[in-house]
Amino acid sequence: MLLGYLASGWAAGADEPGAPQPAGSGILILERSRAMVHDFTEGVARHVDGWFGDKPFEQGGKVSGSIGFKFLTRQHESPDASFRFGAKLDMPNVKEKTYLFFGQENERELLIDQPEPFTRRELLLAEDRRQDQTFFAGVGYALRDNIDFRAGLRSGIKPYAHARYKKAWALGEHDRIDLRETIFWNRKDGVGSTTALSFGHGFTRTLAFRWQLAGTISDETDGLAWANSMGIFKNFGDQHTLSLEALIGGATAGSDNVSETGVRAVWKQPVYRDWTLVELSLGHFWPQGDAKDEDRRGWALGVGFEILF
């Protein structure tokens, strides 16, 4: 079978400032912070759900999401930190397959529905938080298990829309192909599409090979922006995973199709229960073509922290 990896301070009491904190107070703060985010998100869901009817929220209502921080640095560049937040709200008074969502994300990647392995965050690239980050909110509708429609607004009341199709094929006991096709629209790009394709082969129950490709084209682009990765994924159990990948990316519009090559190693594991995850990333990247610059080649390091709620 394919590796499972592929399936994919408020302390109790009123302590005075500066007073010694009891052992484990950091864990208590973490749990209470997570509970506060969950309760706030659920409160929003209950309030909005009440606009559509009187059915109790407990009858099918739920919220889920994550908060992520990542600190990264590339050789010859200044260190950077990024923040991600996303939540999905399922509400009983809204139609069964309709849901709301909101959060904060890289604006460009949100608009084109960029696959996670090829985001700037995972490629250890710095972001301008004022220009690259955006708040967003919207409504989604799952027409079928593999067809999903989303429409939303991002910062500045700018609309965007997605129509996403997902399909998986099992090629025997050890091989699998996954396809995700997104047709998108926004004012900046017009109409476009992002295609993501993944092939996985399981050597054992804990060791697998994965080949991932993604390409984006729109009315405003002169060619196809593409990315490709191949690597080995190892599952050590209890959500402890290690991956080693070779990466290449570029665009067909320039004089040189390839803009960068690189290698990336990622270790991921829970640090407290199964909802607090840490990720360590180490990479080395080589700019190519028009972007080639010996001063830009070098090592990159990332430390990520994610809380699921």
Asked whether residue 151 carries a pLDDT value surpassing 90, the answer given is: yes
For the chain, domains (ranges, CATH) are 22-308 (2.40.160.40)
pLDDT band of residue 82 (cuts 50, 70, 90) is confident
Residue 14 has pLDDT above 50, yes or no: no
Length of the chain: 309
pLDDT for the residue numbered 54: 87
Q: What is the CA radius of gyration of the chain?
A: 21
Q: Nearest-CA neighbor of 281 among 304, 258, 297? A: 304
| pLDDT at residue 213 is higher than 90 | yes
Per the CB < 8 A criterion, the answer to whether 7 and 200 are in contact is: no
pLDDT, position 53: 87
Cα–Cα distance for residue pair 104/113, rounded to 1 Å: 14
- pTM for the model: 0.81
- Please write the tens of the pLDDT for every residue from 18-60: 434 444 677 888 888 899 999 999 999 999 888 888 889 998 8
For residue range 154-198, list pLDDT tens digits in order: 987 899 999 999 999 999 899 999 999 999 999 888 999 999 999
CA dihedral for 134, 37, 9, 276, sign (positive or negative): negative
209 confidence band (pLDDT: 50, 70, 90):
very high
The CA-atom distances, in angstroms, between 82 and each of 46, 71, 101, 305, 309 are 30, 7, 20, 11, 19
pLDDT for 26 equals: 73
Residue with more model confidence, 145 or 265 = 265
Spatial separation of the C-alpha atoms in residues 243 and 94, rounded to whole Å: 40
Per-residue pLDDT for 306 more than 80? yes
Q: In terms of Cα–Cα distance, which of 241, 224, 222 is closest to 233? A: 241
Mean pLDDT of the chain: 87
pLDDT tens profile 107-126:
999 999 999 999 999 998 88
Average pLDDT, integer, range 199-209 = 97
Q: How many CB atoms neighbour CB 51 within 10 A?
A: 9
Which pLDDT score is estimated for 21? Answer: 43
pLDDT of 46 reads 92
**Of all residues in the chain, what percent carry a pLDDT higher than 90?**
61
DSSP 140-181: EEEEETTEEEEEEEETTTEEEEEEEEEEEEE-SSSEEEEEEE
Predicted pLDDT of residue 13:
33
pLDDT on residue 17: 38
Give the 3-state secondary structure of residue 122. Answer: coil
Mean pLDDT on 116-140: 88
Amino acid at 20: P
- Distance CA(48)–CA(131), nearest Å, equals 30
CA distances from 70 to 124, 149, 153, 277 (A): 9, 29, 25, 12
pLDDT tens figures, 242-300:
999 999 999 887 667 888 999 999 999 999 888 999 999 999 999 887 656 655 689 99
